[in-house]
Amino acid sequence: VPVDLAALAREAAQRGAAEAQARGIRLEHAGDAPVLVHGQPDALAVLLRNLVDNALRYSPDGAVVRVTVGGTSGGHGATLVVEDSGPGLPPEALARLGERFYRVLGTGQAGSGLGWSIVQRLVRLYGIHVVVERSPGLGGLRVDLAWS
């Protein structure tokens, strides 16, 4: 069904707002105009929630986490970017990102190591192109999703 990606991103940012505020993280959201993609709303909400939760979890206090939605309505050229000013990931960790139960040691964060495997499963299911790299603007991790 058609799903408003901008509304889902706004909801994911709102869900993370209390944690962000408690840790002095500036959680930014850009892109309020409706951007329609096709999918199952609950599954896409899980995708966004995992991306925003990970950005908040692994960013230090006082960091910036930015969620940006863009594109055209109708699902052609829609994009979602979640980026942060945290430490990012070394290349060997980037290569293993998405392996079930894989976690980067030494982060001091609790978790099961399943968030990224869920993200990868959903992007494959919906044919979403994903690029994970260092954020040129914020310096931490940048996750760029593109619907075609």
Instruction: Using the structure block, give the residue that is written with the tokens 């509304």.
Output: 7
Q: What is the pLDDT of residue 93?
A: 64
Q: How far apart are CA 12 and CA 145, in angstroms?
A: 15
- The token pair at 90 is 């070394």
Q: How far apart are CA 124 and CA 39, in angstroms?
A: 12
pLDDT, mean over the chain: 85
User: DSSP for 85-148?
Assistant: SS----HHHHHHTT-TT---TTS-----S-HHHHHHHHHHHHT-EEEEEE-TTTSSEEEEEE--
Buried b (16+ CB within 10 A) or exposed e, 87-123: ebbeeeeeeebbeeeebbeeeeeeeeeebbbbbbbbb
Region 39-59: what's the mean pLDDT? 93
What tens digit of pLDDT does each residue of 70-94 get? Answer: 986 554 679 999 999 988 777 776 6
Q: What does pTM read for this prediction?
A: 0.84
Region 93-112: what's the mean pLDDT? 53
Closest CA to 73 of 11, 144, 4: 4
Q: What is the pLDDT of residue 77?
A: 76
Q: What percent of the chain is predicted at pLDDT more than 70?
A: 81
Q: How far apart are CA 9 and CA 59, in angstroms?
A: 19
